[in-house]
Amino acid sequence: MNGFGNQLKTVFLMSLLTVLVILAGNAIGGSGGMQIAFIFAMVMNFGSYWFSDKMALAMTKAQPISREQSPELYAMVERLADNANLPMPRLYMTPSPQPNAFATGRNPNHAAIAVTRGLMQMLNREELEGVLAHEMAHIKNRDILISTLAAVMAGVITTLAHWAQWALMFGGVGGNDEEGASGLAALPLIILGPIAAMLVQMGISRSREYLADATGAEIAGNSSGLANALQKLERSSAAIPMNVNPSASHMFIVNPLNARRVANLFSTHPPIEERVKRLYTMERR
């Protein structure tokens, strides 16, 4: 049921992306802009599905890690993949000193886990294993594609809003009145576009993090490692900034933009204290 539900979410997100791009094209360029937007939407949907992992890794500047570079990391992930009955994912690292991690890919056979350099340096073995198990849980629960599509959608919506803003400023919005487009048609996109992008991220991220925490604790064999890691990650993300595309922020295990105060107004992640509380409850059972 979870897999089927995620398939429905995938179809919904891709359909919504298509509609939003077409409407934006109409607002910016009239009927001609709408035709161009339709082609653009088809290309984006194709690319988002088949190259979702590459898009996410590029957005976060992640680079592949070889077994020779980090044999202990490979051994740890291999054990967790065996526990979860999953194929070994590809491993990547971002140079950020902030401790964080995310998983991406279109399915378990085409999955990748990216960790930051700060994560490898700050956590002990049990905590690191808890974080990696959480990311393996995202792969097992088959929500990595949904997360990446949401990142692509958020980026597209925000970009379209910026285009509409510049077009309106320089008088390039819409066509003539017969085409039904005018400068005012772009205003909702300019104002509501960034908010819509944030709501998409919030709607995708919050519920899946609780599920990944619980599944990750089962994969690791304990919940205390992940619980302790989440508390460290929350403190560090508030103190150490990360240079990451905001459209991809919901993909990480904790919000990488916590150092920016504006990010706390509409958090894409559930409260860490509630996640930790649930994990400790699991440990006492």
Domains along the chain?
Answer: 2-171+180-211 (3.30.2010.10)
Give the rounded percent of residues in the chain with a pLDDT score beyond 70.
Answer: 69
269 is in an annotated binding site: no
Q: What is the mean pLDDT of residues 242-265?
A: 75
Q: Which is higher by pLDDT, 3 or 252?
A: 252
Q: Which of 241, 216, 236, 229 is nearest to 123 (CA)?
A: 229
Contact call for residues 115 and 93 (beta carbons, < 8 A): yes
User: Is residue 121's pLDDT more than 90?
Assistant: yes
Mean pLDDT computed over 57-63: 89
Q: How many C-beta atoms surround the C-beta of residue 114 within 10 A?
A: 28
Confidence band for 19, pLDDT divided at 50, 70 and 90: confident
Share of the chain above pLDDT 90, in %: 41
Distance of alpha carbon 280 from alpha carbon 62, whole angstroms:
32
Which residues, at least 6 apart from 85, have a Cβ–Cβ distance to it below 8 Å?
none
Long-range CB contacts for residues 268-271, cutoff 8 Å, separation at least 24: 268/198, 268/201, 268/202, 268/205, 268/206, 269/205, 269/206, 269/209, 270/206, 270/209, 270/210
Mean pLDDT, range 139-152, rounded to an integer: 79
Q: Provide the token pair at 200.
A: 């998409």
Q: Quote the mean pLDDT of the chain.
A: 80
CB–CB of 154/247 below 8 Å? yes
pLDDT band at 259 (very low <50, low <70, confident <90, very high): low
pLDDT confidence band for 40 (50 / 70 / 90): confident
Residue 262 pLDDT: 47
| Spatial CB neighbours of 245, under 8 Å, sequence gap ≥ 6 | 59, 60, 151, 155
Alpha carbon distances (Å) from 163 to 24, 166, 193, 198: 9, 5, 11, 18
Q: What is the largest CA-CA distance in the chain?
A: 68
Length of the chain in residues, anyone? 285
Residues annotated as part of the active site: 135
Q: Is 134 annotated as a binding residue?
A: yes
Q: What pLDDT is attached to residue 135?
A: 97
- Report pLDDT for 168: 63
246 confidence band (pLDDT: 50, 70, 90)? confident
